[in-house]
Amino acid sequence: MIIGLIGFGKVSKNLINLIKSDDITFVTSMDGRSNKTIGSIEKLEIDVLDTFKDVAIVSDILISANSPKNAIDAAKNYGKFTKGIYLDLNNISPETTLEINNYVENLVDGAIIGKIDSDNPVLYLSGAKSDELLFLDKFIQTKKISDSVGDVAILKLLRSSYTKTLSALLIESAQIANEYDLEKEFFDILSLTEGDDFREKSTSRINNTLNNSKRKAEELEEIINCFDKNELIMVKAALEKLNQ
């Protein structure tokens, strides 16, 4: 079996590390890629073809893991040449996922949840062809959500909406606790119900949100646009907080 990769960043490198089988060959192309990506490809000694079109043609599974902005172009330019399954792993909206479905034959909507460079991320799939990818469970925990392309994209967005909104609330509460010189106690009492690692997880979540507040705010805006039929009072408040 041949798995083609459009994009050779953190996601693709970790998939190669996890999916190790004599029956699977990975292929990609260096066409138009940066020195960083070319260096990564050379290090892993995988098969390299002249163009991404060639990669698409030979692939039984073609994985698009490049960037949310490039996801539609990758599908338009290369996805149409594959007769295999087109697995999109980019962080894209349900709307973009449905647009991609117009350009490729066998789309599976995918998401990797959990730290990508950990040993145990989970791969979620939706789309009629998902069943054909369930063998990946041998290498990476793989779960099918439904036959509908777009369901995983909705879940991804809801997860992102929940974690980012919660982070904004955590930032606000921890700031107040700090003003009263009660930050340690604040985390201690919450740990009683939220689990021993609450402080550690919260601190990491707060730092991550503060260090990337512009990107996180943009992602919240995307969520608000995507679910524009819903009220989203909490998400809008979180956006206001992040914009401060």
The interface region with ligand NAP, picked from 1-9, 125-133, 135-143, 210-218 by CB under 6 A, is 1-9
Contact 55, 5 (CB under 8 A): yes
Closest residue by Cα to residue 84 from 5, 172, 143, 138: 5
Q: Judged by CB under 6 A, does residue 91 bind ligand NAP?
A: yes
Which lies closer to ligand NAP via its Cβ, residue 74 or residue 232? Answer: 74
- Please give the full DSSP string across 213-244, using - where no structure is assigned: HHHHHHHHHHHHHHTTTS--HHHHHHHHHHH-
Which residues, including other chains, have CB under 8 Å from residue 228's CB and lie 6 or more apart? Answer: none
Which lies closer to ligand NAP via its Cβ, residue 118 or residue 244? Answer: 118
Rounded Cα distance, 49 and 27, in Å: 7
Which lies closer to ligand NAP via its Cβ, residue 27 or residue 174? Answer: 27
Among positive and negative, which fits the CA dihedral 79, 80, 83, 85?
positive
The interface region with ligand NAP, picked from 88-96, 139-147, 157-165, 215-223 by CB under 6 A, is 88-96
Query: Which position among 63, 89, 140, 154 is part of the footprint of ligand NAP (CB under 6 A)?
Result: 89
Cβ 134 to ligand NAP, closest distance in Å?
19
Contact 61, 82 (CB under 8 A): no
Which string of x and - marks every residue 29-68 that binds ligand NAP (by CB under 6 A)? ----xx-xx---------------------------xxxx
Query: Which position among 46, 48, 116, 145 is part of the footprint of ligand NAP (CB under 6 A)?
Result: 116
Contact 216, 209 (CB under 8 A): yes
Using Cβ positions, the residue closest to ligand NAP within the complex turns out to be: 9
Cβ 77 to ligand NAP, closest distance in Å?
8
Map tokens 């107040």 to a residue.
176
Query: Which position among 3, 4, 6, 239 is part of the footprint of ligand NAP (CB under 6 A)?
Result: 6
Token pair recorded at residue 90: 């980019």
Closest residue by Cα to residue 7 from 94, 93, 68: 68
- Say how many residues touch ligand NAP, by CB under 6 A: 22
Q: Which residues bind ligand NAP (CB under 6 A)?
A: 6-12, 33-34, 36-37, 65-68, 70, 74, 89-91, 112, 116
